[in-house]
Amino acid sequence: MSHAALQANAQQRYEVTRADLPLSCPMPAMALWNSHPKVYLPVEASGSAKCPYCGAQYVLID
């Protein structure tokens, strides 16, 4: 996933790789000024995870 200039909560679906683990929402490169508290998501357990704050769906693609 390219992290360049990501805005938190801008999309409803994000594709992530194992290089992004441990996965948190918002992700480290996301602008946080308008976001929610950081929460870690166990995407590696099932291949996808949904943020309980903003509803963004994260899908592990590798």
Q: How is the chain split into domains, by residue range?
A: 6-60
Name the pLDDT band for 4 (thresholds 50, 70, 90): very low
- Specify the pTM: 0.78
Residue 1 pLDDT more than 60?
A: no
Cis amide prior to 22 (ω within 30 degrees): yes
Query: CB–CB of 27/54 below 8 Å?
Result: no
Say what the alpha-carbon torsion angle 10, 14, 43, 16 is, to the nearest 10 degrees.
-130
Please state which CATH class domain 6-60 belongs to.
Answer: mainly beta
Largest CA distance in the chain: 30
Q: Higher confidence at residue 56 or residue 31?
A: 56
